[in-house]
């Protein structure tokens, strides 16, 4: 998709490392992963070391998946910049301006295509043609690595509301209840944030996310969690 900027590295100028959807999605991912592993471990762990096993398993799970998610973010970012550079080269090398405009239009999302006039795409084509300092290859900058680190931290920190009760609360059954309640509260907050960001009602989205969390919790209980 062609963004409002034609610079493949324009994301580095963004004031935020991650937008609302990215932050909430990563938090929910961490919550679901930790909750799933806590449920699985609760069914098989020995009573003597159940709390420690649950905490370490959930934390280890999200450490691993936080790292994977962070690395894949960098891969995705690099790939997207490579696609933009490929488009820029195709536009610059086009012999016919109409061919370049067609390439730019194809890069737009289906929603935007009918809204953008050829004259607007011609202005973009002219800017691309006039600019000569495009990078030869896509690269990653400091902001990208900071964003990847933020993803890693969000996924890992999402472990603690789910797993920490097993260290603080002596009874495993009580710790499980506290863990699930905290998870549902956080899911409601996540849905609230997404709903407000999307503009279709924070409370509705919060309740929908809560229902999803309850459904997942029930599934874990039925599976032996």
pLDDT digits (tens, 9 = 90+) for 177-211: 888 788 888 888 888 888 888 777 778 888 888 88
**Residue range of the domain that includes 210:** 20-222
Q: Note whether residue 127 is domain-resident.
A: yes
Q: Note whether residue 131 is domain-resident.
A: yes
Q: Note whether residue 13 is domain-resident.
A: no
For CA atoms 144, 145, 149, 151, the dihedral sign is: positive
Q: Note whether residue 182 is domain-resident.
A: yes
Q: Note whether residue 193 is domain-resident.
A: yes
Q: Which of 222, 181, 188 is nearest to 203 (CA)?
A: 188
Q: Note whether residue 4 is domain-resident.
A: no
Task: Locate 149 and state its tokens.
Answer: 């680190």
The pLDDT tens digits for 61-78 are 889 989 999 999 999 999
Distance between CA 100 and CA 127 in Å, rounded?
A: 12
The pLDDT tens digits for 109-141 are 888 888 889 899 999 999 998 888 888 888 899
Tell me which DSSP letter residue 134 carries.
-
Q: What angle do the packed helices 50-93 and 142-157 form, to 10 degrees?
A: 150
Q: Note whether residue 1 is domain-resident.
A: no
Distance between CA 68 and CA 62 in Å, rounded?
A: 9
Q: Which of 2, 7, 5 is nearest to 133 (CA)?
A: 7
**pLDDT on residue 187:** 87
Pick from 42-46, 163-167, 207-211: least confident: 42-46
Q: How many domains does the chain have?
A: 1
Q: Note whether residue 9 is domain-resident.
A: no
């Amino acid at each position: 998709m062609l963004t409002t900027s034609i610079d493949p590295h324009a994301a580095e100028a963004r004031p935020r490392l991650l937008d609302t959807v990215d932050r909430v999605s990563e938090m929910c991912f961490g919550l679901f992963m930790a909750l799933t592993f806590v449920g699985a471990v609760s069914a098989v762990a020995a009573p003597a070391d159940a709390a420690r096993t649950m905490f370490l398993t959930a934390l280890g799970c999200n450490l691993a998946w936080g790292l994977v998610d962070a690395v894949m973010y960098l891969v995705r970012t690099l790939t997207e910049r490579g696609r933009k550079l490929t488009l820029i080269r195709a536009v610059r090398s086009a012999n016919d301006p109409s061919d370049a405009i067609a390439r730019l239009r194809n890069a737009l999302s289906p929603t935007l295509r009918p809204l953008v006039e050829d004259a607007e795409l011609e202005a973009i084509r002219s800017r691309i043609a006039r600019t000569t300092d495009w990078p030869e290859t896509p690269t990653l900058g400091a902001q990208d690595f900071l964003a990847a680190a933020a993803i890693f931290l969000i996924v890992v920190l999402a472990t603690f509301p789910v797993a920490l009760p097993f260290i603080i609360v002596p009874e495993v059954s009580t710790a499980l209840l506290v863990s699930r309640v905290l998870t549902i509260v956080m899911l409601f907050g996540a849905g609230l944030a997404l709903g407000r960001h999307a503009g279709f009602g924070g409370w509705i989205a919060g309740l929908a996310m809560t229902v999803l969390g309850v459904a997942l919790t029930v599934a874990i209980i039925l599976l032996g969690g």
